[in-house]
Amino acid sequence: MAKINFGGVQETVITREEFPLEKAIDTLKYETIAIIGYGVQGPGQSLNLRDNGFNVIIGQRKGGKSWKKAIADGWIEGETLFEIEEACDNATIIQYLLSDAGQIDAWQQVKKSLTAGKTLYFSHGFGIIFNEQTNIIPPADVDVILVAPKGSGTSLRRLFLKGEGVNSSIAVYQNATGRAYEKAIALGIGVGSGYLFETDFRKEVYSDLTGERGILMGALAGMFEAQYEVLRSNGHSPSEAFNETVEELTQSLMPLVAENGMDWMFANTSVTAQRGALDWKGKFKQAAKPIFEQLYEEVASGREATRVIIEGSSPDYREKLDVELAEIRESELWKAGAAVRKLRPKL
Ligand SMILES: NC(=O)c1ccc[n+]([C@@H]2O[C@H](COP(=O)([O-])OP(=O)(O)OC[C@H]3O[C@@H](n4cnc5c(N)ncnc54)[C@H](O)[C@@H]3O)[C@@H](O)[C@H]2O)c1
Ligand SMILES: CC(C)(O)[C@@H](O)C(=O)O
Ligand SMILES: [Mg+2]
Ligand SMILES: [Mg+2]
């Protein structure tokens, strides 16, 4: 496996050159893979696996939106689409892709079919690491592995269709057969990952929960609102406030960061912008770091997991979520965003 130097620290990365798709298919040629849950990761991972030539079936609660989506995506009831229990019985590898709270509810159904030598696969360390709260304790004679794409299931599918990929973290929690590691790599390649980064279940879940609550989603959304509101309260128009807060970030500056790093983006802005940004960066870091420390502590203590489980298992969770998302969508900031998005020049 490749040893790559990340800013002075050597880490192991598995590349598609070392473990090509043909080797992944050969590794899993006797396996039936059941994707349990057809929400966001389920479609991305299962469709990529199917297109890559693996033997895949779906297990999903019958009748709802996800079931209908599976049928629309070409899965056939009774052949490749089953209720959760039947799919688990038919499979040798169970990819447990229900929502993290849903995994608690369905665990007894899944556990029943985990006979010796089967593989239980997660895309997040949540159920296992917080097992004092989830009660997800797999039998000792099954392999327990993780492939966690570091991106949305939607991006996993979109990039796969473009011939690109998302990078994934991989880990082994239990190696009952002696083949858990190679199965994790083969599935990582099979679901359409680019490079595979080694981690363990605990590190994956702590970093993932911190990242999505922090800079990837929570902090970002909060910072957008804070700056937008200050600009608006000082008399700037919605379009000006939105352009200066979101549009320029996503369309112009972040692509430069993605391409060649922060200093490259700075190097492509004015001296005025550079000077001001470098001076203000320290103040923002000072203000934000204690919040990130508090966030990490909430994650590591398990309290964040408790909140997710309680909220996520409430019967009206989806309705309440829809209300919260509608509030964001209907806010002036994001209505301005919808109008600005229509004005992206395509020359
Ligand atoms: N969403 C992502 O892009 C993403 C990215 C990386 C990792 N993950 C991880 O992948 C896993 C799946 O996440 P997701 O976002 O795709 O899930 P999701 O929230 O979209 O839910 C998936 C499915 O779970 C089913 N479900 C929910 N509660 C259930 C219950 N009580 N009984 C039976 N079925 C139930 C729903 O029908 C839905 O189709 C999680 O562990 C998550 O942390 C997700
Ligand atoms: C896509 C994310 C945010 O990276 C994932 O962690 C999730 O939970 O959906
Ligand atoms: Mg996550
Ligand atoms: Mg994530």
The pLDDT of residue 1: 81
Contacts with 331 (C-beta within 8 Å, 6 or more apart), sequence order = none
pLDDT tens digits, 119-178:
999 999 999 999 999 999 999 999 999 999 999 999 999 999 999 999 999 999 999 999
Answer whether 148 contacts ligand 1 (Cβ < 6 A): yes
The pLDDT of residue 174: 98
C-beta separation of 109 from 82 below 8 A: no
The DSSP result for 303-335, as a single string, is: HHHHHHHHHHTSTTHHHHHHHHHHHHHHSHHHH
The pLDDT of residue 63: 92
Instruction: Show the low-confidence residues of the chain (pLDDT under 70).
Output: none
Answer whether 300 contacts ligand 2 (Cβ < 6 A): no
Residues designated as active site:
124
Nearest CA to ligand 2 atom 6: 208
On whether ipTM exceeds 0.95, the answer is yes
Binding site, annotated residues for substrate = 270
Amino acid at 19: F
151 Cα nearest atom in ligand 1: 5
Answer whether 152 contacts ligand 2 (Cβ < 6 A): yes
The pLDDT of residue 346: 84
The DSSP result for 283-309, as a single string, is: HHHHHHHHHHHHHHHHHHTTHHHHHHH
Sign, CA dihedral 261-262-263-266, equals: positive
Can you give the residue ranges of every domain in the chain? Answer: 2-199, 214-342
The pLDDT of residue 347: 72
Q: 2-199 domain in CATH 3.40.50.720?
A: yes
Angle of the 65-72 helix axis to the 41-51 helix axis, nearest 10: 20
Owner of token pair 């000792």? 140
Whose atoms come closest to the Cα of 214: which ligand? Answer: 2
The pLDDT of residue 329: 98
The pLDDT of residue 145: 99
pLDDT tens digits, 246-279:
999 999 999 999 999 999 999 999 999 999 999 9
